[in-house]
């Protein structure tokens, strides 16, 4: 194919306006081209489903050594599986995967379901609550902090640390600069954390045990724990909050799940497709590469627009409609290729437990307008007041 003049745009994908509602801008970019030069940020936006899969799957051309959109954060991420390419990536990821495998998670299922059911039962009893604070944040915090083995006062800092870390995956705009102190606290803690600081039998403790066995270098332990703390909850929090908001906005779809709980996995896939928990992620182009007639030069950076790909009409029929029976198992929200989300099994367990508990105990949710939390990377709900509910 002969390369053509590249499409370009002055859209700032990290502006408040776009982060609050990315879909008009993402639709405009996607209809321009598969790869669009973003003039304000100096990066390439990858906008369509199939090219996004190509970028995520071709690690030798699209390196994970620049997942963040600022040099400082990319330097800080050196040594994590998030920012490492194969073959070193597999060695670091194996330490995570061992504790997040289906077999390892099987023993957590009953406990997570019990926690979710107890939370929903108490919220139904109360009648009014904030679904963002009291459910979307509460369950992942209760599950993941114990799983990592975090103890003491640090437990109270985890949510703020994770949000700050995700802000720092964007460019060094005002949001990122304001997040530096909190993210610095996380880096400092992760740099000094030792096995004895984490609960015996926890995933965090197992990371240090892997170093003792020679499976990873000891200096990588803190960075892997950092990755778990920073990334282990925020995307799941976003997904659960989005699920509650979507079921409230589409009671007919919630009725389908209530009537047939076997639809829960399909419904959650549709939540992830319809509202991607992450706006975008970066990759570094290692050699000149053509995408649909546009040459991406070596040394440039791309922004993989998950939410744009998930609503690409070339891939999905009627993509702007929320349908729980769609079952888009091929959605992009958990990534693709060697860097597909290592924690997706845990995220599914938590989300399935919440959706299942709501389906059993609630007939209708009446919510106020959701208030979004603006973050450079995550698309989550800050406040979701439940004004009333009809118990099942």
The better pLDDT of the pair 218, 306 is held by 306
35-38/7-9 β-pairing: parallel
pLDDT the model gives residue 98 = 75
Q: Determine the pLDDT at residue 135.
A: 96
What pairing do the DSSP bridges indicate for beta strands 385-391 and 129-130? Answer: antiparallel
- pLDDT value for 4: 61
pLDDT for position 95 = 75
pLDDT at 223: 81
d(CA 297, CA 294): 9
Q: Shortest CA distance to 18 belongs to which of 321, 274, 305, 249?
A: 305
> Is residue 300 helix, strand or coil?
coil
The pLDDT tens digits for 14-43 are 999 999 999 999 999 999 999 999 999 999
| 3 state DSSP class of 63 | strand
Q: What is the pLDDT of residues 140-177, one digit of tens each?
A: 998 988 888 988 888 888 899 999 999 999 999 999 99
Mean pLDDT of the 213-222 span: 86
Lowest-confidence pick of 39-53, 87-101, 315-329, 364-378: 87-101
Residue 222, pLDDT score: 85
| CB-based contact 365:386 (threshold 8 Å) | yes
Query: pLDDT digit string (tens) for 236-259?
Result: 999 999 999 999 999 999 999 999
Distance of CA 119 to the CA centre of its chain: 23
Region 81-108 average pLDDT: 83
Read off the pLDDT band of 233 (50, 70, 90): confident
Q: Quote the percentage of the chain above a pLDDT of 90.
A: 71
> CB–CB of 279/377 below 8 Å?
yes
Best CA proximity match to 280, nearest among 89, 27, 22: 22
The model's confidence at residue 101, banded by pLDDT at 50, 70 and 90, is confident
Torsion angle of alpha carbons 186, 191, 197, 199, nearest 10°?
Answer: 70
Q: For a pLDDT cut of 70, what percent of the chain falls above it?
A: 99
Check if the beta carbon of residue 45 is closer than 8 Å to that of residue 302: yes
In tens, the pLDDT along 270-285 reads 999 999 999 999 999 9
371-374 vs 379-383, strand pairing mode: antiparallel
Alpha-carbon Rg for the chain in angstroms: 20
Q: What is the pLDDT of residue 176?
A: 96
43 membership: H or E segment, kind and range = strand 43-46
- Give mean pLDDT, residues 324-353: 94
CA atoms within 13 A on the CB side of 305: 32
Give the per-residue pLDDT at 220.
81
pLDDT at 1: 42
124/118 Cα distance (integer angstroms) = 10
CA-closest candidate to residue 154, choices 228, 78, 209: 228
Tell me how far apart the alpha carbons of residues 80 and 93 are, in angstroms, rounded to a whole number: 9
Nearest-angstrom CA–CA distance, 383 and 272: 19
pLDDT at 264 over 70: yes
CATH 1.10.630.10: does it fit domain 7-391?
A: yes
- Which residues are 390's β-sheet partners? 364
Angle between helices 138-148 and 203-212 (to 10 degrees): 30
Across the chain, mean pLDDT equals 93
């Amino acid at each position: 194919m002969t390369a053509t003049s590249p499409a370009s745009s002055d859209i700032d994908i990290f502006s408040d306006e776009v982060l609050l509602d990315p879909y008009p801008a993402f639709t405009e970019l996607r209809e321009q081209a598969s790869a669009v030069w973003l003039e304000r940020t100096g990066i390439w936006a990858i906008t369509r489903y199939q090219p996004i899969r190509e970028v995520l799957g071709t690690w030798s051309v699209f390196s994970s050594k620049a997942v963040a959109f600022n040099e400082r954060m990319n330097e800080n991420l050196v040594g994590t599986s998030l920012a490492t390419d194969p073959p070193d990536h597999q060695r670091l990821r194996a330490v995570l995967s061992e504790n997040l495998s289906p077999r390892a998670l099987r023993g957590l299922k009953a406990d997570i379901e019990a926690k979710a059911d107890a939370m929903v039962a108490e919220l139904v009893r109360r009648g009014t609550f904030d679904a963002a604070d009291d459910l979307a944040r509460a369950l992942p915090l209760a599950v993941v902090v114990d799983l990592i083995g975090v103890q003491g006062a640090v437990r109270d800092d985890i949510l703020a640390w994770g949000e700050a870390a995700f802000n720092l995956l964007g460019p060094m705009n005002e949001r990122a600069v304001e997040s530096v102190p909190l993210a610095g606290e996380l880096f400092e803690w992760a740099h000094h954390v030792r096995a004895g600081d984490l609960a015996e039998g926890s995933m965090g403790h197992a990371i240090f045990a892997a170093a003792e066995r020679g499976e990873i270098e000891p200096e990588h332990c803190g960075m892997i724990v950092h990755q778990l703390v920073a990334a282990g909850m925020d995307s799941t929090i976003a997904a659960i909050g989005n699920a509650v908001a979507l079921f409230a906005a589409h009671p007919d779809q919630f009725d389908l799940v209530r009537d047939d709980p076997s639809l829960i996995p399909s419904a959650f896939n549709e939540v992830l497709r319809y509202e991607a928990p992450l706006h975008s992620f970066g990759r570094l182009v290692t050699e000149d590469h053509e995408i649909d007639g546009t040459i991406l030069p070596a040394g440039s950076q791309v922004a993989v627009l998950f939410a744009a790909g998930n609503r690409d009409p070339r891939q999905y029929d009627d993509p702007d409609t929320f349908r729980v029976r769609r079952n888009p198992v091929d959605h992009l929200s958990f990534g693709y290729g060697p860097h597909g989300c290592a924690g997706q099994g845990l995220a599914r367990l938590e989300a399935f437990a919440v959706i299942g508990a709501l389906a059993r105990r609630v007939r209708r949710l009446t919510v106020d307008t959701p208030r979004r939390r603006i973050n450079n990377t995550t698309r989550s709900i800050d406040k979701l007041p439940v004004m009333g509910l009809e118990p099942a």
